[in-house]
Chain A
Amino acid sequence: MGRITLDQVSKSFGEVEVIPPLDLTIDDGEFVVFVGPSGCGKSTLLRLIAGLEDVSSGEIRIDREPATHLPPSKRGLAMVFQSYALYPHMSVRKNIAFPMKMAGVPEDEQARKIADAATALNLTDYLDRRPGQLSGGQRQRVAIGRAIVREPAAFLFDEPLSNLDAALRVGMRLEISELHKRLATTMIYVTHDQVEAMTMADKIVVLRDGLIEQVGSPLDLYRAPRNLFVAGFIGSPRMNFVTGAGDRMGGAPTIGVRPEHIMASKESGPWKGTVGVSEHLGSDTFLHVHDTGLAETLTVRVGGEFDARHGDTVFLTPDDEKIHRFDADGSRIA
């Protein structure tokens, strides 16, 4: 149905190789997220799969069929863009109908599918409006509706929530996850937001400079990041990197401790520091601790409320079981 294989796929723009040859398999029905900082090649990789960019070398197969040289229109994939990319001169109904019109779907079937999609996406009242008359969230729903009616082999999402405000983003994130559960169709989702990656993905692909740094389930990446980059990228707040912590280093030049794996106390603990900023969220308190001699700032996440002010002395105790060790190259030491 929607198994996508990349075999030694690479992409160069002129002299510049943005994606060195890489292999990747996306299984049918999987929700895969490409995540990485801007410029890491995640969108380019998605566009290669979509066929919007030509590969420089290598082979793409969709459902075991070679697709490397197929135009986008023949790959049977649907894409949702960051800018929504709706047709401004068409009503919502016509926007959603467009892929079916291209595929020559009979009119009555078109009408039925439009009605179904509109119901599922809460768009029934807006079918006769133009995209310009809709809010950002509604526009993104239309874009998703346009993708659904194609019944594609896979959905491709290119940072679809980046243009939405924070509250709406959380809502749409859930909607897309639910859509995936309901349709069980392969989805490839590009984002720079590691929270989106962690919450939505079955499998995360972390990219940097066109290279795949690690592939795994969200918890695999959280528990066992393969290198410093992945360790720093996955998890929020960011993992603390510590040098010079004596015996705890276990011989490694750098160790990593997540903020939630450090206990804070006002009385005692192996690490001592001064509170710089404390952020009180109610559910959690984030302490930014300076002057520990281990790192410029250590971030600590304390569950619930913790009474600490700027300038207070705190003692920190890392959970030794959950310390990550990295060698001089930044690779994980097992």
Chain B
Amino acid sequence: MGRSVTTQRKAFNTLFAWGIGLLIFFPILWTILTSFKTEATAIADPPVIFFFDWTVENYVVVQERSNYLRFLWNSVIIAGGSTVLGIIIAVPAAWSMAFVPSRRTKDILLWMLSTKMLPAVGVLYPIYLIFIKLGILDTRIGLVVVMMFINLPIIVWMLYTYFREIPGEILEAARMDGASLRAEIIHVLTPMAIPGIASTVLLNFILAWNEAFWTLNLTAAKAAPLTAFIASYSSPEGLFYAKLSAASVMAIAPILVMGWFSQKQLVRGLTFGAVK
């Protein structure tokens, strides 16, 4: 008896989990399906789910109308550049906070995090003006810098949490074993921190890739990444659901594929410090 109850419960839990999973995935699935429909089928009511004439016409049109690769390249530069720059700044910051903390370290960390609580739109105007003055509006370098600052608190926090898991005694052992600071960093610190740095890089690359507020507001044509590419298909006039969907799929595909192959690292990154 007891056992059958457990099995039933398991079955229920499994179904429930699948239900939730599908619910979350549904908008993405819908977008993918719609991207293969004609514009007429896309707005059909009641909606057609699987049984329609599949077409890749939308992808062809989207590719003809706008230069996908240029947007893709901008996304890569902005997400990649801001992540690399952020890591370069955050690694030493997190090291010092984790291994040589001062009395104010906790406060600084909280203060950094508190900047994430500010609504982005609250600083749009000043940042926009600064961008105009500096002449970096609609430039990739401007976006790289802004995205780096946006994500820096998260990068520092993640690295800090990760570094805190590295026992200080191991670093002390390296010092006792005759290692200079440089040797200690190269031979002991970095190899032990690589999984954490990798998770941080991945997560922040994804965050920067998906970020839409700043990329939409601070770019026009030259530096526009894939978020702007999607937005350009949500026009106020006419209904282009199918093409909008095709553009969306093209924009999220690279990051989805990357995320799929790095699941393990990502989960590790998201559950930092939660389990030992």
> In the complex, what residues of B have CB within 8 A of residue A88's CB?
170, 192
Instruction: Select B175's contact among A73, A86, A87, A156, beta carbons within 8 Å.
Output: A73
Complex CA–CA separation, A73 to B173 (angstroms): 10
Complex CA–CA separation, A78 to B177 (angstroms): 7
Binary interface profile of B, 159-195, with partner A (CB < 8 Å = 1, else 0)? Answer: 0000000010110111111111001000110011000
Given contacts A98-B187, A102-B183, A87 and B170 within 8 Å (CB-CB)? yes
Contact B176 A73 (CB under 8 A): yes
Instruction: Select A85's contact among B169, B178, B183, B191, beta carbons within 8 Å.
Output: B169
> In the complex, what residues of A have CB within 8 A of residue B188's CB?
87
Interface of B is mostly: helix
Contact A85 B179 (CB under 8 A): no
Contact B180 A73 (CB under 8 A): yes
Instruction: Select B169's contact among A78, A81, A150, beta carbons within 8 Å.
Output: A81
Contact A79 B176 (CB under 8 A): yes
Which 10 A-B pairs have CB atoms at the shortest separation, nearest pair first? A85-B173, A102-B178, A99-B177, A85-B169, A72-B175, A79-B176, A89-B191, A73-B178, A85-B170, A81-B169
In the complex, whether A146 has a CB less than 8 A from a CB of chain B is yes
Instruction: Select B176's contact among A77, A87, A103, beta carbons within 8 Å.
Output: A77
Complex CA–CA separation, A79 to B173 (angstroms): 7
Interface of A is mostly: mixed
Q: Which of A51, A81, A85 has the most CB of B within 10 A?
A: A85
Complex CA–CA separation, A171 to B169 (angstroms): 25
Complex CA–CA separation, A146 to B187 (angstroms): 16
A side interface size, CB within 8 A: 24
Say how far A25's CB is from chain B's closest CB, in angstroms. 22
In the complex, whether A91 has a CB less than 8 A from a CB of chain B is no
> In the complex, what residues of A have CB within 8 A of residue B170's CB?
85-88
Binary interface profile of A, 69-96, with partner B (CB < 8 Å = 1, else 0)? Answer: 0011110011101010111110000000
Complex CA–CA separation, A146 to B178 (angstroms): 12
A78-B176, A99-B177 given. 20 additional CB < 8 A pairs?
Answer: A52-B172, A52-B175, A52-B176, A71-B175, A72-B175, A72-B176, A73-B175, A73-B179, A78-B177, A81-B172, A81-B173, A85-B167, A87-B173, A87-B174, A87-B188, A88-B192, A89-B191, A89-B192, A98-B174, A102-B179
> In the complex, what residues of A have CB within 8 A of residue B173's CB?
79, 81, 85-87, 146
Complex CA–CA separation, A51 to B170 (angstroms): 15
> In the complex, what residues of A have CB within 8 A of residue B187's CB?
98
- Chain B 189-205 residues near chain A, CB threshold 8 A: 191-192
> In the complex, what residues of B have CB within 8 A of residue A50's CB?
176
Say how far A186's CB is from chain B's closest CB, in angstroms. 15
Say how far A96's CB is from chain B's closest CB, in angstroms. 10
> In the complex, what residues of A have CB within 8 A of residue B180's CB?
73, 102
19 of the cross-chain contacts (CB-CB < 8 Å) are A52-B176, A71-B175, A73-B175, A73-B176, A73-B177, A73-B178, A77-B176, A78-B176, A81-B173, A85-B169, A87-B170, A87-B173, A88-B192, A89-B192, A102-B179, A102-B180, A103-B178, A146-B173, A150-B177
> In the complex, what residues of B have CB within 8 A of residue A79's CB?
172-173, 176
Contact A85 B172 (CB under 8 A): yes
Complex CA–CA separation, A113 to B191 (angstroms): 25
> In the complex, what residues of B have CB within 8 A of residue A150's CB?
177-178
Binary interface profile of B, 199-239, with partner A (CB < 8 Å = 1, else 0)? Answer: 00000000000000000000000000000000000000000
Given contacts A85-B167, A88-B192, A99 and B178 within 8 Å (CB-CB)? yes
Complex CA–CA separation, A74 to B180 (angstroms): 9
- Chain B 13-36 residues near chain A, CB threshold 8 A: none
Nearest chain B residue, comparing its CB with the CB of A75: B176
Say how far A34's CB is from chain B's closest CB, in angstroms. 17
Complex CA–CA separation, A50 to B174 (angstroms): 12
Say how far B102's CB is from chain A's closest CB, in angstroms. 11
Binary interface profile of B, 90-124, with partner A (CB < 8 Å = 1, else 0)? Answer: 00000000000000000000000000000000000
Complex CA–CA separation, A102 to B187 (angstroms): 10
Say how far A220's CB is from chain B's closest CB, in angstroms. 31
Nearest chain B residue, comparing its CB with the CB of A51: B175
> In the complex, what residues of B have CB within 8 A of residue A146's CB?
173, 177
Say how far B168's CB is from chain A's closest CB, in angstroms. 9
> In the complex, what residues of B have CB within 8 A of residue A74's CB?
178
